[in-house]
């Protein structure tokens, strides 16, 4: 029906069971913009009020009443439900979230077990759904992961370690692809770090060699600084004071010597090269950790 006093038209037809259709007519007189041409009702067609009718635009807003909270809301605030007669759930999205939250709190163990079983039985279907969601919302997943890691850093780290142990090939391939795509950026960052920390690169190479030979590798940066302090930043063989001293293994890594505090002394590059894989140039006593 049309109310001339308020210039509003309300279509009282029921679009869906439980839904209500509201329509508002926005009248824009073209006469204000085109010199009153819209106000001329005697046009070539001879139809009265043709210009005024043509300038009206009708917008239909469909609403639905939530059966839980009783609030009349737009239909977009309801989830679609193919089993429902009207095609939408009788609960709004807010009430549905509250219902699921209460159900999970009351049945925590059963819900978690049910979700695990469902994921195991529908693994491919869930993967396809996740792929489509990420394609439609590229930034939403990254933001959610970032917030989760900020709230649960220890849980996220444990999950990453568990995944790396269970899927070493996938992790290695992912690192190779990332390196191939961002090689220049990685090299620039590494070069800047090595320039600021020259001793860090040498220590890293030592640890890598120790891991490759499957020997004990537990020397820390703090322990190395303590060894330098004990030897007064001097070479353990020639006694010269050097700004940069290398880590020399009393028992070489080649002979499966451990990369530990009790097997390392500071040595200049010249003495370290002379010693090589042989015995120490002179008898030396490494720094023993407390308790030895």
Model pLDDT for residues 75-119, shown as the tens digit of each residue: 888 888 888 878 888 889 999 999 888 888 888 778 788 888 888
More confident residue, 50 or 274: 274
Count how many domains the chain has.
Answer: 2
Quick one: what percent of the chain has pLDDT higher than 90? 13
Where is average pLDDT lowest: 116-125, 201-210, 241-250?
A: 201-210
In this structure, is residue 284 part of a structural domain? no
Residue with the two structure tokens 């990369």: 259
| pLDDT above 80: residue 198 | no
Residue with the two structure tokens 């950790």: 289
State CA 227 to chain mean position distance.
41
250's enclosing H/E stretch is none
Q: Which of 64, 96, 128 is the last residue of a domain?
A: 96
In this structure, is residue 188 part of a structural domain? no
Burial 166-183 (b: 16+ CB within 10 A, else e): eeeeeeeeeeeeeeeeee
The rounded distance, in Å, linking the Cα atoms of 251 and 266 is 13
What confidence category does residue 25 fall into, taking pLDDT thresholds of 50, 70 and 90?
very low
CATH code, domain with 245: 1.10.30
| pLDDT above 80: residue 270 | yes
| pLDDT above 60: residue 17 | no
137's enclosing H/E stretch is none
Q: Calculate the alpha carbon distances from 248 to 24, 103, 243, 252 in Å.
A: 86, 63, 16, 8
Mean of pLDDT over the chain: 76
Output the pLDDT for position 166: 92
Average pLDDT over residues 24-51: 42
**DSSP letter (8 states) at residue 291:** T
Highest mean pLDDT among 50-54, 186-190, 287-291: 186-190
Q: Is this structure's pTM higher than 0.85?
A: no
Where is average pLDDT lowest: 26-40, 143-157, 222-236?
A: 26-40
What confidence category does residue 16 fall into, taking pLDDT thresholds of 50, 70 and 90?
very low
**Cβ atoms within 10 A of the Cβ of 281, count?**
16
What confidence category does residue 173 fall into, taking pLDDT thresholds of 50, 70 and 90?
very high
The rounded distance, in Å, linking the Cα atoms of 237 and 284 is 8
In this structure, is residue 243 part of a structural domain? yes
Q: Which of 96, 130, 164 is the last residue of a domain?
A: 96
In this structure, is residue 7 part of a structural domain? yes
The rounded distance, in Å, linking the Cα atoms of 143 and 129 is 18
In this structure, is residue 114 part of a structural domain? no
What confidence category does residue 6 fall into, taking pLDDT thresholds of 50, 70 and 90?
very low
In this structure, is residue 83 part of a structural domain? yes
Terminal Cα distance for the chain, rounded: 96
Domain span at residue 214 reads: 198-275
In this structure, is residue 77 part of a structural domain? yes
DSSP of 58-107, one letter per residue?
A: EEEEEEEE-TTT--EEEGGGEEE-TTSSSSEEEEEHHHHHHHHHHHHHHT
- Joined together, the tokens standing for residue 89 give 């759930």
Residue with the two structure tokens 């890598």: 208
Output the pLDDT for position 178: 92
In this structure, is residue 159 part of a structural domain? no
């Amino acid at each position: 029906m049309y109310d001339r006093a308020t210039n509003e038209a309300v279509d009282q037809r029921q679009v869906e069971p439980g839904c209500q259709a509201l329509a508002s007519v926005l009248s824009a007189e073209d006469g204000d913009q085109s010199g009153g041409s819209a106000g001329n009702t005697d046009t070539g067609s001879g139809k009265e009020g043709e210009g005024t009718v043509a300038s009206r635009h009708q917008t239909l807003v469909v609403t639905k009443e939530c059966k839980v909270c009783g609030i009349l809301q737009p239909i977009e605030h309801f989830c679609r439900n193919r089993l429902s007669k009207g095609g939408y759930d009788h609960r709004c999205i807010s009430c549905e979230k509250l219902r699921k939250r209460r159900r999970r709190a009351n049945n925590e163990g059963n819900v978690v077990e049910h979700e695990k079983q469902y994921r195991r039985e529908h693994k491919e279907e869930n993967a396809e759904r996740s792929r489509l969601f990420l394609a439609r919302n590229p930034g939403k997943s990254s933001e959610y992961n970032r917030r989760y890691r900020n709230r649960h850093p220890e849980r996220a780290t444990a999950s990453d370690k568990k995944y790396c142990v269970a899927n070493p090939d996938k992790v290695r391939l992912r690192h190779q692809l990332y390196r191939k795509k961002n090689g220049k950026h990685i090299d620039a960052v590494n070069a800047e770090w090595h320039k600021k920390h020259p001793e860090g690169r040498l220590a890293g190479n030592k640890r890598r060699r120790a891991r490759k030979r499957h020997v004990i590798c537990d020397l820390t940066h703090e322990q190395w600084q303590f060894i330098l302090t004990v030897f007064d930043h001097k070479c353990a063989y020639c006694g010269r004071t050097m700004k940069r001293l290398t880590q020399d293994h009393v028992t070489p890594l080649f002979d499966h010597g451990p990369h530990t505090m009790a097997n390392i002394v500071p040595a200049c590059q010249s003495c370290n090269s002379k010693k090589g894989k042989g015995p120490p140039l002179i008898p030396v006593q490494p720094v023993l950790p407390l308790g030895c």
